[in-house]
C-alpha cells in the first residue's frame, strides 16, 4: 500500500479511535499501541475524526498531537491521514489543513460544510466553500460527502474540482442511498480515489469502481476488515464474502450497542489499547461487553486477529 | 434451479412487468414472449406485483389470468410465483392466496399488511395478520417485509412462524437500512430462503447468508441479472462484481427515468415484448428511451443479452 | 351551517367512525345514534373514510349503506359528505363518486391518487388523475392533499381546476409542514373551502383564511370540537383558545393510545354508541380506557358534552 | 415586560440578526440601531444565535461584544438574552454561560447537546450534560429542545431539573411535530416559561399554556410580530389572527428565499440597519429583494412598522 498518496488500489481505512486514560487525558502510549495494531494489519488510518475519533472533544493541541503521534508511529508504513471534524466555516477547515500539513500527514479529509442549526448551504455556498479550502492548501485532499450534514456534494462539482486541483485526490462518500454513490462513481471513478464510509456498501462500492471503505470496526478487528480487501484483490470470492458478512454483522452489533462506547470497552476488556470515552459520551455496561465478546468468540475473530486471550 | 419450492441455492427473481397493448388490454402473447425471455435466461419470476407488475391496475380476472399464463408458459422450468399487492386486510390476502393456489403457482409472496392512510399496525396486529393468512393456505409462502408500509416484520416473529408453518419457505426483505437485513438473516438464514428487493443490497445479502435478490431490471436485462448469481456460484469474483456493478448502474438509470415506464418504452423501442403502462402511469419521452439505450449500448448489454438489433 | 354545499363560513367536520357490533357487522342503530350526537353538536360529517372510518374494511355494499344511513339520519341538518379511501386508479375514485352521488350525499372528498408500493405519481399523472375524476361527476367535490401518499397536490393545479370545474368546492389539506397549507391558502383561499386534517393546525388555518378543520376527536367530544369554531365566529378569544388547547391535548392522548381503537373503547365504556374495531385493528386494554376517561373527567369534558355518567 | 427574568406573561422574542459591514466586520452602530428598533416595538431579544444570529461565524471576542452591545443599548427596557450555538460538549456551553453572566445579560439559552457527525447522545448523556451545565452557572437559563440535533429533551427531565434548579426558568421548544410541544406543556407549563421556535405553532403554543414564540421575522417586522401577542393579551381575536396569518406568510416567504440572507438584503434595501451575511452564506439576488418588498407593501407592513419609505 502506497503510504504517501492516493492510489487506485483497493484499500480499507480505519477511522481510528482516540484513546483517553481514566482521567480523560489523551493516552499517547495507548494511541501508539493501537496504531501499531492497525499498521501491522495493513490498514490505512484516518485520525481525529468527529465520530469514532471523538474529534469534537479534542482541543487544538490535542488534535495536533494525535496527528504527530500517528506520523511518528506508523508514517511511511501505511497511509496516515487527518480526518478532523465538520467545520462551520471555510476558515476552520483551512486552519485545520494548515496544521495537518505542518505535521506532515500524507493527506487530509475535507469535510462538507456544516453550517449548524439544521441549516443547509446553497449549491453556490458549497462550491465557494470547497474552492476556498482547496485553494488554501497543497496537501493532498479527500473531499467528504456525508449524510450527517443533510446534503450531497454535487458529483459534477467534484469532477470540475478534480480537473482544476491536482491535489484533490479522493472522495469519501457516506450516504445510505446507493444512488449517491453511483453518481459519484460515474463522475470521478478512476480519476479520484473513492471510499464509502462504513462497511454496508463496501462490496457495492468495489463493484462500481470505487477503492474500498472506511471502517470504525477496524479499531476492533483490523485483520478482518483488511481481509475483505485482500480477498477481493486476490480474486478469492469466498474469502471476500465471508469476511465482509462478518464485518457487517460486527458493525450492526457495535452500533446497536453504542458504537465506540462499546468498541473501547471491549478493547479494554480484551487487554488491548483503547481507553475510555470522553464526555459527553458515557461508557457501556458490562453486559454490552459480554454480548460483544461472546459474538466475537463465536465468529472466530480472536484467532483471526491473533489475540492470545483467555476471554 | 428447482422449479417447485424454495431452496438454499443462490438465485435471482424477476419482478415481472405485465404487458398491455395499445388499448390498455392485457397482452397475453407479449406476456408469454416476455416470460420466455426470462425463463431462457434462467431467472425465476414473480407475477402481478404492485410495483413493476402494475398489480393495482389489474381486476380479479386479469390478476388470475397473469398467473395462469405464467404457469402455462414457463411452469416447471423456472419458479413461477404470485406476488400480488399490499392488502388492507387479511381477508384480501387470503383470497389472493386461494386464487394463486388454485391456479397452481409454485409459491406466493405474502405482503405485509398495509392498513392505508399512513397508518401502521401494532405488533400484535402484524402477528395476527400473518397467523391468519398462513393458517388459511397450504401454498408455499414467502413473507415480505417492505419499507413501503412503514414498518418491519419482526425477525423473531419470522423465526417463530417458520417453526410453526412448514409452508413458510422464504422472506423477501426490502429495507434501505442494512440493519433490517442483518437482523432477518441472523433470525432465519439457512432455514428460510431470503431475497432482497432490488439489486442495491444483492452482494451484501449473499455475504450475510441470503439467497439473492429480486429485480425489476431483469425485465430488461435478464442475463445480466442472472450473471451476478452465476458468477457468485462459480466463485468468479470478477464476473460477479462487474455484472453487479452494471445492474446497479442500470437500476439507477431506470429509476431515475420513471422505473417501468422507462423499462416498457425501452423494450418496445428494442422490438422486445413489453407493451405500455396503464393509467395512472403515463409513458416517457423519446429522450428517455434514447438515454437508456445509449447507456445499454455503451455497457455492452445488447451483446450480452443476445439482442440482434440495429439500435 | 348550510347543509348542501361548501361555504366560506368557519366550520369543523367529524371524520366519523363506523360502528361495528361484537360480531363485526355494521351496526346501523349505533351509527344512527352516533351521527345524531354529531348533528346535535352541529358538526358536519365525513363518512366511510380510510382512517377513522375504517373504510378499507368495508365492502361495497357496506360503504354504500354507511352513506345511506348518514343521508337518512342527519341529511339536511348538517353537511353529510363521503370521504372514502385512497384509490389506486382514477377508475376506483370515479366509481366511488358515482355511488356517492346516487346515494345523495351533499359532497364527496376526492383523495389523492395513491399508486401503492411506495410509488409516487408524476405531476402529469396527478393532473390527469384529477381531471379524469372531476370530469366524471357533477357531485360537489373536495380534493384532498394528504401526506400519507407521499406528495402534495400542486396549489397551482388546484387553482386551475377551480377555474374549470364549478363543482370543485373545497380542499382538505393534511400536511405536517405548515408551508403546504400556506401555499394552498395563497392559491385558492376565498374561492375554495379549505380545511386542515386534524386539529394541530386549526388556528393556523383560520388565520390564513381557511375555514376550519377535520377532526377524529369529534367522535368523542363533538361539542368541544365545535366550540373552537363557535368561539372563533363569536370573536371570543378565550373560549377559542381554551377549547382548542383541550382538543389538541385530547388528540395527542388518543393518538398516543391507538387512535380510534381507543376512541371506540372509551365511547363504549361511557355507554355511548361506538362499537368495536374490525380486524386488522385490535382493541385496547382497560388501562388505556381508564387513562383517557381520567383525562376527560379532569378536563371537564363530561359536563361540556352533557354526559350524564357515573364514570 | 419584565426585563430581568422569565415571567408567565405572553411574549415574543426576536432571534436577532448580527449586522456585518461590507468588509465582513461586526457593525456595532448597525447592531445598536437594529436593537433599538426591536426594543421600541417591545420585543425581547436573543443574541448571537447559531441560526439567525450567524453565531457560528463569530469569534470569541465578537460573541462577547454582541452581548455587551445588547445589554448596553436596550438592557432594562426589554429582556436581553444570550442564545449562542449548539455545543459539542458541556464545557463549551459552560464557558459560554460564564461569559454571558459576566457580561450581564438577563438570561441565556442552553442549547441541547449536539455531538456532531449525525450522532445522538443517549438519554443518560443528555441528562448528564444538562446537569453539568446547570450546576455551573447561576444565570437564569432557558433550555432548548430543538429538532436540529435529532432528538428531544425528555419532558420529565425538564420537570425534574425545574424542581432542582430555581435558575432554570424556561424552555424553548422547536419541533415540527406538535406532540413534542404538548408533552412539554403538560410537564412544565405554568412552572417554566415556554416559547416555540418560529411562528408556525405560536397560537397553538398559547392555547396550550405556553408564553409565545421566538421569531426571526421580527428582525424585519417587529411590530407585526408583537401584534400577535398584544392582540392575544387584549383578547382581540381579529387582531391576533390577522397579525398571525401575516407573520406565517412572511415566514414562508423569507425562508423560501434564503432566510436571513433575504432578511438582511431587504432591510438594507429599505434603508434599515441589517448589513450583509458572512460566509459561508452568500447574499441574494435583487429579484428576491423585489419579491419580498412587493409582498410587504401589498400586506400593508410599511405603514404598520412606521417605515417612511419610497419603496
For D206, nearest residue in chain C (alpha carbons): C241
> For residues C289 and C254, what is the distance between their CA atoms, to the nearest angstrom?
10
pLDDT tens profile A158-204: 999 999 999 999 999 999 999 999 999 999 999 999 999 999 999 99
> A194 near A180, Cβ under 8 Å?
no
- Inter-chain CB proximity C176 and D176 less than 8 Å: yes
> For residues C74 and C67, what is the distance between their CA atoms, to the nearest angstrom?
11
- Inter-chain CB proximity A115 and D56 less than 8 Å: yes
pLDDT score for A1: 35
- Inter-chain CB proximity D204 and C207 less than 8 Å: no
- Among A50, A115, A121, beta carbon nearest to D117: A50
- Inter-chain CB proximity A203 and B236 less than 8 Å: no
- Among A176, A245, A255, beta carbon nearest to B176: A176
**Phi–psi pair at B168, nearest 5 degrees:** -85, 110
- Inter-chain CB proximity C280 and B128 less than 8 Å: yes
Q: Which residues of B touch C (CB under 8 A)?
A: 49-51, 56-57, 85-86, 88-90, 113-119, 121-122, 124-125, 128-129, 132, 146-148, 258-259, 279-282
Q: Which residues of D touch A (CB under 8 A)?
A: 49-51, 56-57, 85-86, 88-90, 113-119, 121-122, 124-125, 128-129, 132, 146-148, 258-259, 279-282
Q: CA of D93: how far to CAs of C275, D52, D97, D175, D196, in Å?
A: 54, 19, 6, 21, 21
Terminal-to-terminal C-alpha distance of chain B: 33
**Phi–psi pair at B48, nearest 5 degrees:** 75, 20
- Inter-chain CB proximity D249 and C209 less than 8 Å: no
Residue B5's pLDDT band (boundaries 50, 70, 90)? low
> For residues D266 and C89, what is the distance between their CA atoms, to the nearest angstrom?
47
- Inter-chain CB proximity D208 and C176 less than 8 Å: no
pLDDT score for B233: 98
pLDDT tens profile C199-220: 999 999 999 999 999 999 999 9
- pLDDT tens by residue, chain D, 311 residues: 333 466 799 999 999 999 999 999 999 999 999 999 999 999 999 999 999 999 999 999 999 999 999 999 999 999 999 999 999 999 999 999 999 999 999 999 999 999 999 899 999 999 999 999 999 999 999 999 999 999 999 999 999 999 999 999 999 999 999 999 999 999 999 999 999 999 999 999 999 999 999 999 999 999 999 999 999 999 999 999 999 999 999 999 999 999 999 999 999 999 999 999 999 999 999 999 999 999 999 999 999 999 976 54
pLDDT score for B310: 57
- Inter-chain CB proximity C204 and D204 less than 8 Å: yes
Residues of A in contact with B204 (CB under 8 A): 200-201, 203-204, 244, 248
Residues of A in contact with D115 (CB under 8 A): 56, 280-281
Q: Give Cβ neighbours of residue C88 (< 8 Å, ≥ 6 apart).
A: B56, B57, B280, C113, C114, C115, C116
- Among B119, B125, B282, beta carbon nearest to C124: B282
Q: CA of C269: how far to CAs of C20, C22, C34, C165, in Å?
A: 15, 14, 14, 46
Residues of B in contact with A238 (CB under 8 A): 235
**Is pLDDT at B162 greater than 90 in this prediction?**
yes
For A118, nearest residue in chain D (alpha carbons): D148
pLDDT score for D309: 66
- Among D177, D207, D235, beta carbon nearest to C203: D207
SS (HEC) of chain B? CCCCCCCCCCEEEEECCCCECCCCCECHHHHHHHHHHHHHHCCEEEECCCCCCCHHHCCHHHHHHHHHHHHHHHCCCCCEEECCCCCCCHHHHHHHHHHHHHHCCCEEEECCCCCCCCCCCCHHHHHHHHHHHHHCCCCCEEEEEEHHHCCCCCHHHHHHHHHHCCCEEEEEEECCCHHHHHHHHHHHECCEEEEEECCCCHHHHHHCCCCEEEECHHHCCHHHHHHHHHHHHCCCHHHHHHHHHHHHHHHHHHHCCCCHHHHHHHHHHCCCCCCECCCCCCCCCHHHHHHHHHHHHHCCHHHHHCCCCCC
Segment B230-253 shows an average pLDDT of: 98
- Chosen for mutation from C196, C204, C247, C259 (greatest number of chain D CBs closer than 10 Å) is C204
pLDDT score for B78: 97
Instruction: Please tell me whether the interface predicted TM-score (ipTM) of this complex is above 0.85.
Output: yes
Residues of C in contact with B50 (CB under 8 A): 116-117
- Among D86, D125, D147, beta carbon nearest to A280: D125
- Inter-chain CB proximity D86 and A280 less than 8 Å: no
Q: Which three cell numbers stand for residue D138?
A: 447561576
SS (HEC) of chain D? CCCCCCCCCCEEEEECCCCECCCCCECHHHHHHHHHHHHHHCCEEEECCCCCCCHHHCCHHHHHHHHHHHHHHHCCCCCEEECCCCCCCHHHHHHHHHHHHHHCCCEEEECCCCCCCCCCCCHHHHHHHHHHHHHCCCCCEEEEEEHHHCCCCCHHHHHHHHHHCCCEEEEEEECCCHHHHHHHHHHHECCEEEEEECCCCHHHHHHCCCCEEEECHHHCCHHHHHHHHHHHHCCCHHHHHHHHHHHHHHHHHHHHCCCHHHHHHHHHHCCCCCCECCCCCCCCCHHHHHHHHHHHHHCCHHHHHCCCCCC
Q: Look over chain C and give the mean of its residue pLDDT values, rounded to a whole number.
A: 96
- Among C240, C242, C245, beta carbon nearest to D237: C240
- Paired with A47 in beta bridges are A82
pLDDT tens profile A63-110: 999 999 999 999 999 999 999 999 999 999 999 999 999 999 999 999
> For residues C68 and D306, what is the distance between their CA atoms, to the nearest angstrom?
58
pLDDT tens profile C275-287: 999 999 999 999 9
> C250 near C224, Cβ under 8 Å?
yes
pLDDT score for D310: 57
pLDDT score for B311: 47
pLDDT tens profile C129-180: 999 999 999 999 999 999 999 999 999 999 999 999 999 999 999 999 999 9
**Is pLDDT at A4 greater than 60 in this prediction?**
no
Query: Is C44 strand, coil or helix?
Result: strand
- Is the torsion defined by CA of B35, B39, B42, B48 positive or negative? positive
Interface chains of chain B (3 or more CB pairs under 8 Å)? A, C
**Is pLDDT at C128 greater than 60 in this prediction?**
yes
> For residues B129 and B137, what is the distance between their CA atoms, to the nearest angstrom?
13
**Is pLDDT at A6 greater than 70 in this prediction?**
no
For A259, nearest residue in chain D (alpha carbons): D119
- Paired with B144 in beta bridges are B172
Segment A276-280 shows an average pLDDT of: 97
pLDDT score for B210: 98
Size of interface C-D (CB pairs under 8 A): 74
**Is pLDDT at A118 greater than 80 in this prediction?**
yes
Residue B309's pLDDT band (boundaries 50, 70, 90)? low
- Inter-chain CB proximity B88 and C57 less than 8 Å: yes
pLDDT score for C255: 94
Residues of B in contact with C112 (CB under 8 A): none
Do the two chains A and C touch, given a threshold of 8 Å on CB pairs and at least 3 pairs? no
Q: Which residues of C touch B (CB under 8 A)?
A: 49-51, 56-57, 85-86, 88-90, 113-119, 121-122, 124-125, 128-129, 132, 146-148, 258-259, 279-282
**Is pLDDT at B2 greater than 90 in this prediction?**
no
pLDDT score for B1: 35
> For residues A80 and A105, what is the distance between their CA atoms, to the nearest angstrom?
6
Q: CA of A163: how far to CAs of A191, A196, B271, C110, in Å?
A: 9, 22, 41, 53
Q: Give Cβ neighbours of residue C46 (< 8 Å, ≥ 6 apart).
A: C13, C14, C15, C16, C53, C81, C82, C83, C109, C214
Terminal-to-terminal C-alpha distance of chain C: 33
pLDDT score for C7: 79
pLDDT tens profile A289-305: 999 999 999 999 999 99
pLDDT score for C309: 66
**Is pLDDT at B6 greater than 70 in this prediction?**
no
HSE-CB of B117 using CA atoms within 13 angstroms: 21
DSSP single-letter state for residue C188: H
Q: Which three cell numbers stand for residue C50?
A: 380510510
Residues of C in contact with B124 (CB under 8 A): 282
> C80 near C36, Cβ under 8 Å?
no
C-beta atoms surrounding C22 within 10 Å: 8
pLDDT score for C310: 57
> A264 near A282, Cβ under 8 Å?
no
pTM > 0.90: yes or no: yes
For C147, nearest residue in chain B (alpha carbons): B118
Residue B220's nearest CA partner among B258, B252, B260, B249 is: B260
Specify the higher pLDDT residue, D294 or C308: D294
- Chosen for mutation from A212, A234, A245 (greatest number of chain B CBs closer than 10 Å) is A245
Amino acid at each position: 500500500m502506497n503510504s504517501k498518496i492516493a492510489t487506485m488500489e483497493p484499500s480499507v481505512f480505519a477511522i481510528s479511535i482516540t484513546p483517553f486514560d481514566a482521567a480523560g487525558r489523551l493516552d499517547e502510549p495507548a494511541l501508539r499501541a493501537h496504531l501499531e495494531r492497525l499498521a501491522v494489519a495493513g490498514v490505512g488510518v484516518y485520525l481525529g475524526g468527529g465520530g469514532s475519533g471523538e474529534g469534537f472533544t479534542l482541543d487544538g493541541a490535542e488534535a495536533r498531537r494525535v496527528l504527530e503521534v500517528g506520523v511518528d508511529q506508523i508514517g511511511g508504513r501505511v497511509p496516515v491521514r487527518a480526518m478532523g471534524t465538520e467545520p462551520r466555516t471555510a476558515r476552520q477547515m483551512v486552519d485545520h489543513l494548515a496544521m495537518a500539513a505542518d505535521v506532515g500527514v500524507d493527506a487530509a479529509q475535507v469535510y462538507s460544510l456544516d453550517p449548524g442549526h439544521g441549516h443547509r448551504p446553497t449549491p453556490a455556498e458549497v462550491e465557494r466553500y470547497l474552492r476556498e479550502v482547496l485553494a488554501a492548501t497543497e496537501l493532498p485532499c479527500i473531499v467528504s460527502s456525508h449524510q450527517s450534514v443533510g446534503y450531497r456534494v454535487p458529483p459534477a462539482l467534484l469532477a470540475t474540482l478534480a480537473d482544476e486541483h491536482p491535489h484533490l485526490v479522493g472522495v469519501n462518500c457516506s450516504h445510505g442511498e446507493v444512488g449517491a454513490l453511483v453518481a459519484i462513481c460515474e463522475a470521478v471513478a478512476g480519476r479520484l480515489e473513492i471510499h464509502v464510509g462504513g462497511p454496508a456498501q463496501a462490496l457495492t462500492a468495489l463493484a462500481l469502481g470505487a477503492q474500498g471503505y472506511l471502517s470504525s470496526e477496524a479499531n476492533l478487528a483490523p485483520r478482518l476488515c483488511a481481509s475483505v480487501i485482500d480477498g477481493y484483490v486476490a480474486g478469492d470470492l469466498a474469502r471476500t464474502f465471508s469476511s465482509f458478512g462478518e464485518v457487517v454483522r460486527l458493525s450492526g452489533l457495535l452500533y446497536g450497542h453504542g458504537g465506540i462506547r462499546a468498541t473501547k470497552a471491549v478493547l479494554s476488556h480484551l487487554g488491548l489499547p483503547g481507553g475510555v470515552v470522553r464526555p459527553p459520551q458515557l461508557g457501556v455496561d458490562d453486559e454490552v461487553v459480554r454480548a460483544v465478546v461472546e459474538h466475537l468468540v463465536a465468529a472466530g475473530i480472536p484467532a483471526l486477529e491473533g489475540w492470545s486471550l483467555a476471554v
